[in-house]
Structure 1
Amino acid sequence: MAGVDGHRAPSTTTLLGLSVPAIIVGVISALGLFLVEEAAHLLEHLLWVSLPAIWGLDPDSGWWIFSVLSSVGLAVGVIVSFAPGHGGRDSATVELVAPPLTLTAVPGLVLVTVLVLAGGVSLGPESPIIAINTALLVALVAKFWPRIDVHLVVLVTAAGTIGALFGTPVAAALVFTGMVAAATTGGALWDRLFLPLLAAAAGSLTMRLVDGPQLWATGLPSLGTPQLAHLLAGAVVACAAALSILAGASVFRPLHTLFRRLRRPLLYTTLGGIILGGLGALGGPLTLFKGGQQMADLVRAAEDYTTVQLLLIVAVKLAALVVAATAGFRGGRIFPAVFIGATVGLVAQSIVPGVPLGLVIACGILGAVLAECRDGWIALFIAIVVVGDISLLSILCMVVLPVWLLVTHAPKMMVHTVPRQQVSGSTV
Structure 2
Amino acid sequence: MSDATAAPPVMWRPYARLLAVSALLGIVISVAAFAFLALLHLMTHAVWEELPHAWGFSEPPWWWPVPWLLIGGAGVGIAVRSLPGHGGHAPVQGLSMGPVPASHVPGILLGALAGLPLGAVLGPEAPLLALGSALALIVVGPWRGSLSDPARNVLALAGAAAAISAIFGSPVVGAVFIVEATALAGVAGQNLARTVLPAVLASGIGGLVFTGVGQWTGLEIASLALPGIQGPARLDLADVLWTIPLAVVVAAAVRGVRGLGGVVARWSAPRPFVGAMVGAVAVALCASAYALLTGRSPEDVVLSGQGLLGPLAADPAAWGVGALLALLVLKGLGYAVSLGSLRGGPIFPAVLLGAAAGALLGDLPGYGAVPALAAGMAAATAASLPFPVSASVLVVLLLGSAAPPLTPVVLLAATVGYVTEHYVLGPSRHAEQHAPAH
Normalized against structure 2, the TM-score is what? 0.48
- Comparing both chains, which one has the higher relative contact order based on Cα–Cα distances under 8 Å and sequence gaps of 6 or more? 2
